[in-house]
Amino acid sequence: MDCVYKNPNEPIEARVKDLLSRMSLKEKIGQMTQIERRVATPSAITDFSIGSMLSCGGSGPFENAMASDWAEMVDGFQKSALESRLGIPLIYGIDAVHGNNSVYGSTIFPHNIGLGATRDADLAQRIGAATALEVRASGIHYTFAPCVAVCRDPRWGRFYESYSEDTEIVRKMSSIVSGLQGQPPQEHQHGYPFVAGRNKVIACAKHFVGDGGTERGKNEGNTILSYEELERIHMTPYLDCISQGVSTIMVSYSSWNGRKLHSHHYLITEILKEKLGFKGIVISDWMGIDKLIEPRGSEYRNCIKSAVNAGIDMVMVPYRFQLLIEELTSLVESEEVPIARIDDAVERILRVKFASGVFESPLSDRSLLDIVGCKQHREVAREAVRKSLVLLENRKHQSKPFLPLNRKAKRILVAGSHADDLGYQCGGWTKNWQGSGGRITIGTTLLDAIQETVGDETEIIYEKSPSKETLERDDISFAIVAVGEKPYAEKFGDNSTLEIPFNGSSIISSIADKFPTLVILISGRPLVLEPWLLEKINALVAAWLPGTEAQGITDVIFGDHNFTGQLPVTWFRRVEDLDQLANGVKLHDPLFPLGFGLTYAEE
């Protein structure tokens, strides 16, 4: 019998049907299983016909592994998959959420909250295209991005992963999907996955649905809304992603009106698959089905049953994959999970694999390695930084606006916890899950960028926390103070106070009392800015989490480019005011409203 599924000239649906007809139950369930690389062995991948693998944050071949090292590792796993009975290739996934951020030397773009400040859909698409190339260079086929949450409360630890509190801005920035996967042709059938070749990656819209609207911004919390509000505020961006051929959608850990999304048949099957017409893979989040019953992990069989019957196609296990396979096999044999549900899941998985071209090009393309961290990509990142900056204050100093700064000033004080820390600039999901401080990869800190920008005659004094002697000098022209948050991700970023860490307010105050001062706030969200502090400083810039290319900041503060960024979210005045945000109510007295952003006055 001819192997239709091996023929790239056959229609995708014919290939899916042919391959599915050849598969045993064991092979089907193997395809539904996504495992972490730490538990992957060649025999496990081959014998169980494992469908997908992933690296969680920080799970690379070794410390500071380059793209070539990643490609070698992923190719090794792929070769094991190709040795299975039917030779079905793996798709290997990673959280490349602002560039290929786990790989040393890659270009790190601003996190989504900064991109939302640009309102630039074309820029988002170009960032997606650059990210796709750097991901494919490392042998990886699949990124768990973009996050299209509509963020409603900055106390949420994933706030920076969202483009905006405004649904329309999130919809606009979903253009990154077309950058990651390629632009589908006009005749492309709605709801079906689309990937435009081996220089593109499988994308994942996440987290379905309402993750940005939980009570008090609690990570994995409960979103209390009517269906109409859920659809209007949080679901609409998924339609834009589906219309661009997004291949996968990840389910949220959170709940809707008290019911966890991972077991929500109505939202996953009746709405996402049937009403919205999504034909790609619905994937669980990391150990997402374990969390369906508390205490975590109890009654695992029932967790699997409710999640798969709800419509989840691929299970991010990530470790206990043999138990998952055993239990799901038993559930099918006892008819508690219908075989039709299994076939639907596997059809979707195979459809994405055929659409992505992984059957034809399963191994890495080493010719792409030179593009990782290349000048062209870093220029796109630098442009993104420039466009993401939001000028919040620019008071007059000596009868004219304080900014732009004079690059030929005699002496400049540079200070603050974030002035010379690449890891802090990049934030969470960089090198590892939570991110970290220091020179974690290749890039330019704010201090580096200032030193490159100022004139040869200008002296830079850098002190993270200036000494008494420095503060008493009378020959410093002005100060640039960079403060903000340490890196964090997910629940570890949940924060009920939102104060500037590292004694930020007092450091700003001590410097601003002595010198004209520009404050650059590097954070994943608005933070508390007390009125007395704002009165002391001359200028204030929200730089979000800019990534590796801080020259984008100096391009603007020294006047080579104007400010164009606008707040993608409302800047609250008091933390207690945030409770007004429930049910989409706008803050009645914000410090700075959504869309606020000053520019340099036109000459």
Q: What is the pLDDT of residues 167-220, one digit of tens each?
A: 999 999 999 999 999 999 999 999 999 999 999 999 999 999 999 999 999 999
- CATH 3.20.20.300 residue ranges for the chain: 29-317+336-370
Least confident of 353-357, 444-448, 581-585: 581-585
Amino acid 335: pLDDT: 97
Rounded CA-CA distance 303/299 in Å is 7
In 350-485, beta strands by DSSP E: 390-394, 396-397, 400-401, 411-415, 459-463, 478-484
Confidence of residue 601 (pLDDT cuts 50, 70, 90): confident
The answer for residues whose C-beta is within 8 angstroms of residue 211's C-beta and 6 or more apart is 149, 158, 223, 234, 252, 253, 254
Amino acid 297: pLDDT: 54
The verdict on whether omega for the bond into residue 516 sits within 30 degrees of 0, i.e. cis, is no
Structure-block tokens of residue 527: 């933070």
Measured in whole angstroms, the distance separating CA 185 from the mean position of its chain's CA atoms is 26
Amino acid 463: pLDDT: 97
Average pLDDT of the residues in 143-165: 97
Say whether 379 is catalytic: no
Give the β-pairing of 255-256 and 222-223.
Answer: parallel
Amino acid 374: pLDDT: 98
Residue 1 has pLDDT above 70, yes or no: no
Say whether 285 is catalytic: yes
The answer for residues whose C-beta is within 8 angstroms of residue 466's C-beta and 6 or more apart is 413, 415, 507, 510, 511
Q: What percent of the chain is predicted at pLDDT more than 90?
A: 95
Closest listed residue to residue 409, CA positions, set 563, 243, 532, 557:
557
pLDDT in tens, 128-148: 999 999 999 999 999 999 999
Amino acid 126: pLDDT: 98
Residue 603 has pLDDT above 50, yes or no: no
Least confident of 8-12, 93-97, 599-603: 599-603
Cα-based distances in Å from 200 to 279, 426, 430, 570: 19, 24, 21, 35
Confidence of residue 585 (pLDDT cuts 50, 70, 90): low
Measured in whole angstroms, the distance separating CA 31 from the mean position of its chain's CA atoms is 26
pLDDT in tens, 327-351: 999 999 999 999 999 999 999 999 9
Amino acid 583: pLDDT: 53
Amino acid 579: pLDDT: 84
pLDDT in tens, 224-268: 999 999 999 999 999 999 999 999 999 999 999 999 999 999 999
The CATH class, in words, for 29-317+336-370 is alpha beta
- Average per-residue pLDDT in the chain? 96
150-185: burial string, b at 16+ Cβ within 10 Å, e else: bbbbbbbbbbbbbbbbbbebbbbbbbbbbbbbbbbe
pLDDT in tens, 300-316: 999 999 999 999 999 99
CATH match of 389-584 with 3.40.50.1700? yes
Amino acid 282: pLDDT: 98
Q: Is the dihedral of CA 147, 152, 155, 160 positive or negative?
A: positive
Residue 126 CB neighbours (<10 A): 19
Rounded CA-CA distance 98/101 in Å is 6
Structure-block tokens of residue 148: 């299209």
Report CA Rg, the chain: 25
The answer for residues whose C-beta is within 8 angstroms of residue 346's C-beta and 6 or more apart is 20, 23, 28, 31, 32, 313
Average pLDDT of the residues in 62-71: 96
Q: Which residue among 134, 240, 485, 490 is the active-site one?
A: 490
Outline where 112-191 has alpha helix (H): 112-118, 121-137, 167-173, 176-181
Residue 295 has pLDDT above 70, yes or no: no
Q: What percent of the chain is predicted at pLDDT more than 70?
A: 98
Q: Which residue among 134, 285, 327, 555 is the active-site one?
A: 285
